[in-house]
Amino acid sequence: MSKTNRPSGKFLRAKARHVLFAAGPNKLSRGRLFKKHFDQSIDLKKVEITSPSWPSAFDGLRIGHVSDFHLGDLMPLDRALGAIDTLVSQEPDIVVCTGDVVDLHVNGALPLLEALANIGAPLGTMLVLGNHDELDCASALSLMAQSSGVRLLRDASCQIHHNGNVLTVAGIDWAKTSKQCKSKVEKVCDDQTHILLSHNPKAFTTASEVGVPLTLSGHTHGGQVAMPNRRGANLAVAHRYTAGVYERGDSRLFVTVGVGAWFPLRINCPAEVALITATSSS
C-alpha cells in the first residue's frame, strides 16, 4: 500500500477476496495450487477484425493488445515479462494495455511498464487504468507509466501521425456501470475517433452509437472458466460482452480474456496475448 494513502474499503475488500480465493487455498495446498496455475501457458491469439468505418489508410495495422496482468501473487514479474516477450516477437505497429496492470499493490509495477514501452512498436504504447489499478494509488501508477514512456490516456484522446495520415485513439478511466461508461465515452469520443481503449467492455454500446470503429477492452477475464469451444459461455455472467469479437453496426469490440487472473483457475479459457489486424471492408 502506498505510504501516502490509507487502505480504502475497496482495497480491503479486494485483499479479502484474494485471501479467500487465492492465497488461502494456496497455503492449504502447500503451494501446489499456484504452481499448477503457473504451469498453464499464456497463449498468443491472432485476431482479424474488419469494419467498414476503419480508416483505409491504416489497413493492416497490427495492434498488440494486453490486459489484466494483475501483477502480484498470481502474476510474478518474470511471468509477465514472458508474456511481453511473446508480443515482442510479433512486431506490432502499436501496443495497447487496457488496464489492471497490478492486482493490489502498485509497488513493483515499473519494470513491467518499462517492458511494455520497450517493445519498440513504431506507433507507441498506450494504457488505460482498470479498477484494480485504482485500489492502491492510481496517481503513483500513472507517474510510473509516464516515466517509462507509456502514453497514459485518462479520459483523453491523442492523434498518431503516420505517413501523412492521422489515427485518433481515445481512452477512458475505469467506469463500473453502463451509465458511467456512456458519460466518459461521450466526453472523449466523436466521429473522428478510430480506437477506444476501455477496461470495461460496457463502453462499447455508446462507442458504437458514436461511430467508433474499434473498441478494445478486458476486465472480464472471459470468466476464467468457459464451456469447451465456447468462449462466450463462461462465468462472466454480469457482462454482455465477455470474450472475443462483437459487432454492432459498423463498430467492432474485442474483449481479451487477459494475461493474468484473480483466482488461480482457468478452464477452457487460457490466458492470452492478442495480436489484432484491423482492416476496412473491401
**Residue 75, pLDDT score:** 98
Predicted confidence band at 229 (pLDDT cuts at 50, 70, 90)? Answer: confident
DSSP H or E segment with residue 209: helix 204-210
**Residue 30, pLDDT score:** 96
Higher pLDDT, 281 or 27: 27
Q: In this predicted model, what pLDDT tens digit does every residue of 50-75 receive, in sequence order?
A: 999 999 999 999 999 999 999 999 99
CA 82 – CA 55 distance, rounded (Å): 33
Q: In this predicted model, what pLDDT tens digit does every residue of 3-56 receive, in sequence order?
A: 455 789 999 999 999 999 999 999 999 999 999 999 999 999 999 999 999 999
- Number of structural domains found in the chain: 1
Quick check: is 32 in a domain? Answer: no
**Residue 281, pLDDT score:** 80
Partners of 170 in beta bridges: 157, 196
For residue 164, give Cα distances in angstroms to 92, 120, 136, 160, 190: 20, 21, 41, 10, 21
Query: Which SS3 state, helix, strand or coil, does residue 194 take?
Result: coil
Quick check: is 46 in a domain? Answer: yes
12: Cβ contacts below 8 Å, ≥ 6 apart:
none
Whole-prediction pTM: 0.96
Would you state the cell numbers that stand for residue 212, as one nine-digit string? 467508433
Quick check: is 35 in a domain? Answer: no
For residue 56, give Cα distances in angstroms to 46, 159, 207: 20, 16, 20
**Residue 282, pLDDT score:** 58
Mean pLDDT within 195-216: 98
Q: In this predicted model, what pLDDT tens digit does every residue of 123-150 receive, in sequence order?
A: 999 999 999 999 999 999 999 999 999 9
Contact call for residues 53 and 13 (beta carbons, < 8 A)? no
What is the CATH classification number for the domain harbouring 181?
Answer: 3.60.21.10
pLDDT at 270 over 80: yes
Predicted confidence band at 2 (pLDDT cuts at 50, 70, 90)? Answer: very low
Quick check: is 60 in a domain? Answer: yes
Quick check: is 111 in a domain? Answer: yes
Mean pLDDT within 62-89: 98
Quick check: is 192 in a domain? Answer: yes
Contact call for residues 74 and 224 (beta carbons, < 8 A)? no
Quick check: is 217 in a domain? Answer: yes
CA nearest neighbour of 173 among 204, 141, 134 = 134
Mean pLDDT within 252-269: 97
Quick check: is 8 in a domain? Answer: no
Look up the domain containing 58 and give its range.
42-279
Predicted confidence band at 232 (pLDDT cuts at 50, 70, 90)? Answer: confident
